[in-house]
């Protein structure tokens, strides 16, 4: 595509008619994406609120569950997600610079890291299955005092990490779409809005995990 | 919002800081600090989230309108947690009022 900055073109590439210029168009998209992300904050906020209430009611039971959380996998997954946010931001930067091959390379790297996260999550869920830590009729807990209360924590664990994982899967689908679009040369330094918006989504999912990791894995480490 | 391109160095520094904070939060969780364990873990999480929002999500270069919306989201999240806790934490403070 032609470079739009040099000539007095009536329409820059990718610019819709009802916007003054590309900058205004990108600002509008960014604002819209943030409105969506704020609804996501509210959505996860409800679950964080439930966690806060039950943790206040049963602090000892909640702390006792930390022994059965795989902190190593949790910490590695935190690193993997942070690394994927870093590669995502580099993909956006490549898009800004119009480096088409670099966009694809960084998006593919981000997707791979997302899949690594989900694979490790699967390993953890399998551990919980083997240990009978999945809430329901077959739930078993090592400390008889806390069977019911610990079950609440594991319910919250699966609800919160499960919703997070679903967001990761959606993100992986969005990244695949971006990779296809990038390989069809849809993006230029004048228009790369989808890369930037999905980047915002990906970072948001990272932030949710940043709070989930200490709350679910590190609560009763010292006991 | 003119889109200034941020250097890779800045992103790499933020990435390094986030990794260092992750190691710190795991290390601090192994210390015996009582109630302060939770405070420390949440402080580190908030610092990490702020780094991601400001640098990776580039809110520091965003328009005032976007910043306002981000702030509103945080404000409403605070209302949710503060009002819920002001109920649950204060139950039983007045012994005579059994229905509270």
Residue (of A129, A138, A143, A119) closest to A220 by Cα position: A143
Residue (of A94, A90, A105) closest to A188 by Cα position: A94
Burial pattern A125-149, b for ≥16 Cβ within 10 A else e, equals beebeeeebbbeeebebeeeebeeb
CB B49 within 8 A of CB A41: no
CA distances from A192 to A153, A195, B6, B49 (A): 42, 6, 16, 25
Q: List chain A residues with CB under 8 Å of B73.
A: 34, 37-38, 41-42
| Residue in chain B lying closest to A97 (CA) | B5
* Cα(A199)–Cα(A176) distance, integer angstroms: 13
- What's the pTM? 0.91
* Cα(A81)–Cα(B48) distance, integer angstroms: 12
B93: closest CA of chain A, how far (Å): 15
> Which of A27, A85, A218 is closest, CB to CB, to B25?
A218
The ranges assigned to domains in chain A are 41-217
Spell out the SS3 assignment of chain A.
CCCCCCCCCCCCCCCCCCCCCHHHHHHHHHHHHHHHHHHHHHHHHHHHHHHHHHHHHCHHHHHHHHHHCCHHHHHHHHHHHHHHHHHHHHHHHHHHHCCHHHHHHHHHHHHHHHHHHHHHHHHHHHHHHHCCCCCCCCCCCCCHHHHHHHHHHHHHHHHHHHHHHHHHHHHHHHHHHHHHHHHCCCCECCECHHHHHHHHHHHHHHHHHHHHHHHHHCCCCCC
Residue (of A214, A205, A196) closest to B26 by Cα position: A214
Condensed to tens digits (0 to 9), the pLDDT of residues B24-65 reads 999 999 888 888 899 999 999 999 999 999 999 999 999 999
Burial pattern B62-92, b for ≥16 Cβ within 10 A else e, equals bbeebeebbeebeeebeebeeebeeeeeeee
Tell me the torsion sign for CA atoms A190, A194, A197, A202: negative
Neighbouring C-alpha atoms within 13 Å toward the C-beta of A197: 19
The answer, for A55 touching chain B at a CB cutoff of 8 Å, is no
Note whether A214 contacts B25, CB cutoff 8 Å. Answer: yes
Residue (of B13, B9, B8, B63) closest to A91 by Cα position: B8
CB B80 within 8 A of CB B88: no
Cβ contacts of residue B17 below 8 Å, gap of 6+?
B51
Note whether B19 contacts A82, CB cutoff 8 Å. Answer: yes
A residues 75..94 contacting B (CB < 8 A):
75, 78-79, 82-83, 85-86, 88-90, 93
The answer, for A189 touching chain B at a CB cutoff of 8 Å, is no
> In whole angstroms, what separates CA A148 from the centre of its chain?
30
Q: What is the pLDDT along chain A (223 residues), one digit of tens a residue?
A: 455 555 555 566 778 888 888 888 999 999 999 999 999 999 999 999 999 999 989 999 999 998 899 999 999 999 999 999 999 999 999 999 999 999 999 999 999 999 999 999 999 999 999 999 999 999 999 889 999 999 999 999 999 999 999 999 999 999 999 999 999 999 998 899 999 999 999 999 999 999 999 999 998 765 5
* Cα(A63)–Cα(A215) distance, integer angstroms: 10
Its CATH class, for the domain covering A41-217, is mainly alpha
> Which of A82, A89, A90 is closest, CB to CB, to B22?
A82
Condensed to tens digits (0 to 9), the pLDDT of residues A116-165 reads 999 999 999 999 999 999 999 999 998 899 999 999 999 999 999 999 99
* Cα(A144)–Cα(A75) distance, integer angstroms: 29
Condensed to tens digits (0 to 9), the pLDDT of residues B60-72 reads 999 999 999 999 9
């Amino acid at each position: 595509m032609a470079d739009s900055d040099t000539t007095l073109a009536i329409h820059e590439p990718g610019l819709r008619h009802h916007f003054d210029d590309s900058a205004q168009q990108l600002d509008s998209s960014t604002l819209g994406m943030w409105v969506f992300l704020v609804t996501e904050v509210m959505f996860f906020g409800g679950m964080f609120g439930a966690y806060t209430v039950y943790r206040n009611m049963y602090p000892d039971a909640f702390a006792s569950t930390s022994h059965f959380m795989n902190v190593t996998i949790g910490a590695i997954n935190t690193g993997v997600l942070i690394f994927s946010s870093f590669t995502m931001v580099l993909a956006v930067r490549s898009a800004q610079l119009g480096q088409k091959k670099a966009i694809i390379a960084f998006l593919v790297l981000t997707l791979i890291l997302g899949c690594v996260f989900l694979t490790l999550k699967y390993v953890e869920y399998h551990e919980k299955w083997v240990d009978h830590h999945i809430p329901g009729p077959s739930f078993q807990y090592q400390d008889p005092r806390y069977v019911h209360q610990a079950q609440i924590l594991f319910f919250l664990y699966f609800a919160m990490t499960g919703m997070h994982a679903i967001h990761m899967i959606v993100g992986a689908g969005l990244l695949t779409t971006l990779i296809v679009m990038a390989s069809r040369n849809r993006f230029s330094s004048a228009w790369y809005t989808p890369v930037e918006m999905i980047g915002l989504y990906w970072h948001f999912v990272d932030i949710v995990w940043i709070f989930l990791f200490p709350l679910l894995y590190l609560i009763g480490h010292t006991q | 919002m003119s889109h200034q391109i941020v250097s890779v160095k800045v992103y790499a520094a933020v990435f390094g800081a986030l990794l260092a904070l992750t190691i710190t939060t795991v290390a601090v969780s192994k210390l015996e600090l009582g109630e302060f364990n939770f405070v420390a873990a949440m402080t580190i999480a908030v610092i990490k989230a702020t780094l991601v929002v400001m640098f990776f999500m580039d809110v520091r270069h965003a328009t005032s309108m976007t910043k306002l919306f981000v702030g509103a989201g945080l404000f409403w999240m605070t209302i949710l947690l503060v009002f819920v806790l002001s109920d649950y934490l204060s139950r039983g403070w007045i012994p005579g009022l059994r229905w509270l």
